[in-house]
Amino acid sequence: MASAEKLPSGRWRGIYTDANKKKKRVPGTHALKSEAKAAAQDAEVKERRKAAAKAGTLPPTTTWGAWWDLLREKRHFDSDTPMTEANIVDNYLRPQWGEKALNEIAQSEVQDWVDDLKAGKFRRSKRKTAPPSPGYVHRIYSVFNVSIKAAVKAEVLDASPCVSIELPKRPKRAKPYMTTTDAEKLGGALRADFRDAVDFGMETGLRPNELAGMHATQADQEARGFWITDVYVQRKKVIRGYPKDKDARFVPATDKAWEIYERRTAGRNLTVGCGIPHSDGTECRGALVFLTVRNRPMNQNTLAYHLRTKAQKLGRPMKSPYTLRRGFATRGAEGGLNAFELADVMGHSDIKITQEYVQRTKRTGDRMRAALARPAEGAGVADRPRLRVVRGRGLGRGTGRGTASDSHPFPSAPKKSEEDAS
């Protein structure tokens, strides 16, 4: 039973009984006894819900807000995802579903809510704001859908109301990317440490947090490349020992990339730790490759700031650190790398994601125009290119002897792709 005790200071502290019938004190103090008691009652209710959820007896009449509070404690990330989710929940989910019982949420209500998000009718505040983009509507809905799936899995709900929900289509559009011209002009105006980061990103296609978290131990001298393992989680200020797709990958180094690596590590003690906590608690034994002139990690926001300010000064289009990754993909595709090779280097398990990084350029159009070039005006049939039969010893018709035309796939044919988890 909830109660309150008076402290020597004159303030009050709440006391409640947990699921094991042990008395516990609520952290913090209050000026009024009623406030302390209310805090104790709230803590006691939460304790009972936790016990019910653990025992599988949480009633379906539990509100969505109370269920999310329980679920949130079980969701752990070595990334900035919790902060993003908290913003979505506070602005889009609690206002709509916070006080609604789980078993009272109907499919039609969910669809109406998604439609309102798309149309900009569901607003975070009274002030007029632009509706969220289709992609962000997907992101908002995904958090809600995760919570409902968890309720079904925990047998709090018998079925999900998130069945056959129609989400807005995410239109394809050109995305900004860093061209070699942009890199040269911006790089020439940047300080040497940031110039090397820009050039290295264009040569390797690393994600900004992968570049910031790269340790000298990831360089492979014999294979002349880099193993992509560590990333810098900016808001948490920790090193996570795996990239977004949770699989280490190898990126071959161009001559320019290797020169940058050697320049950034020259004369430094590479066996000392990076000085940043690692999320798994292990002791770091390698130095970071990319540091600012003040020996600080080159995080995404710092690089973005310098790119933005220099672009404004030069009158160039705005570029973010992620445009380096798109620039790498676009250059690789223009240079002849196929989608599967690019996906492997960039850490994508689905080439559809890779294709979104490759942007259309003038060179792409030139190749298409050359492939579809028509004969010159007035040229006759005799002037058009024709197929020619080549006769010679050992040449036969169709496939070779003992083979079948449909039994030998191309060496570059894709294997069955896995679902992209990132």
Q: What is the b/e burial string over 288-305, where b = at least 16 CB atoms within 10 angstroms of the residue's CB? A: bbbbbeeeebbbbebbbe
pLDDT single digits (tens) 365-383: 777 777 777 655 555 555 5
pLDDT value at position 390?
53
pLDDT score, position 151: 92
C-alpha 4: how far from chain center: 46
Measuring CA to CA, which residue among 422, 24, 50 is closest to residue 231? 422
Closest CA to 113 of 143, 86, 85, 149: 143
Mean pLDDT of 283-304: 91
Q: Which CATH number fits domain 180-357: 1.10.443.10, 3.40.50.2300, 1.10.3720.10, 3.30.70.20?
A: 1.10.443.10
pLDDT greater than 80 at residue 265: yes
User: Which of the four pLDDT bands, split at 50, 70 and 90, describes residue 410?
Assistant: very low
What is the model's pLDDT at position 412?
42
Given this model, what pLDDT does residue 285 score? 87
* Segment 26-47, tens digit of pLDDT: 888 998 888 888 888 778 777 7
Domain boundaries of the chain, sorted by first residue: 3-55, 64-153, 180-357
**For residues 353 and 169, is the Cβ–Cβ distance under 8 A?**
no
Place of tokens 């709090």: 156
Statement: residue 418 has pLDDT above 60: no
Higher local confidence (pLDDT), 219 or 4 = 219
For residues 49-56, give the mean pLDDT. Answer: 70
pLDDT of amino acid 187: 82
pLDDT at residue 227 is higher than 90 = yes
**pLDDT band for position 128 (cuts 50, 70, 90):** low
Where are the alpha helices (H) located in 171-321, listed in sequence order? 180-189, 192-204, 208-212, 255-265, 300-314
- What is the predicted pLDDT for the residue at 411? 41
pLDDT of residue 406: 41
pLDDT at 37: 85
What distance lies between CA 379 and its chain's CA centroid? 54
pLDDT average, residue stretch 260-268? 96
Confidence band (pLDDT; 50, 70, 90) for 397? very low
pLDDT of 281 above 80: yes
Query: What is residue 383's predicted lDDT score, i.e. its pLDDT?
Result: 53
pLDDT digits (tens, 9 = 90+) for 183-219: 998 888 999 999 999 999 999 999 999 999 999 999 9
CB atoms within 10 A of CB 195: 17
Q: What are phi and psi of 253, to 5 degrees?
A: -95, 130
Asked if 287 and 268 touch (Cβ cutoff 8 Å), the reply is yes
Higher pLDDT, 54 or 126: 54
pLDDT of 393 higher than 50: no
Q: What is the pLDDT confidence band of residue 394, given thresholds at 50, 70 and 90? A: very low
Is the dihedral angle over the CA atoms 266, 270, 273, 274 positive or is it negative? positive
